[in-house]
Amino acid sequence: MAPALTALGSSHPQLTVTCHITDQAQLRELALGTVDVVLGQRYHHLPDATPRGIDVSPLLDPTPPGIRATPVADHPIRRLLFAATRHTENENPTITTVVAALRTAARERRTVCPPPAQE
């Protein structure tokens, strides 16, 4: 999935991809650079501490103490991904589903971008 998202990000630089971590093993893979992105529908094993620059979001599950997360509703791209993947037959969305959701978001300009700085 990571190569597909990386390629899509290259062709649509306005998209912002957030890493979602499901457990310590995936956190280790991200830290080693083995994978770029971990996406899933439900997160049960959130790490106690994450490296700087890696955002943790439980999406559906309650957030344990010490983990900062934002509701899915605050991020249109996350809402879109959740809607696209919530009815799949397994926990992890397929590459096709994720890429289709991101393409739709790019077409509709529903991306997660920081607002312009105000002076």
Q: What distance in Å separates the CA atoms of residue 107 and residue 50, rounded to the nearest whole number?
A: 32
What are the pLDDT digits (tens) for 28-39?
Answer: 655 665 544 444
pTM: 0.24
Radius of gyration of the chain from its Cα atoms, rounded to whole angstroms: 14
Contact 38, 30 (CB under 8 A): yes
The average pLDDT across 16-35 equals: 54
What are the pLDDT digits (tens) for 58-72?
Answer: 443 444 455 444 444
Confidence of residue 55 (pLDDT cuts 50, 70, 90): low
Residue 53 structure tokens: 């620059």
Q: What distance in Å separates the CA atoms of residue 46 and residue 117, rounded to the nearest whole number?
A: 32
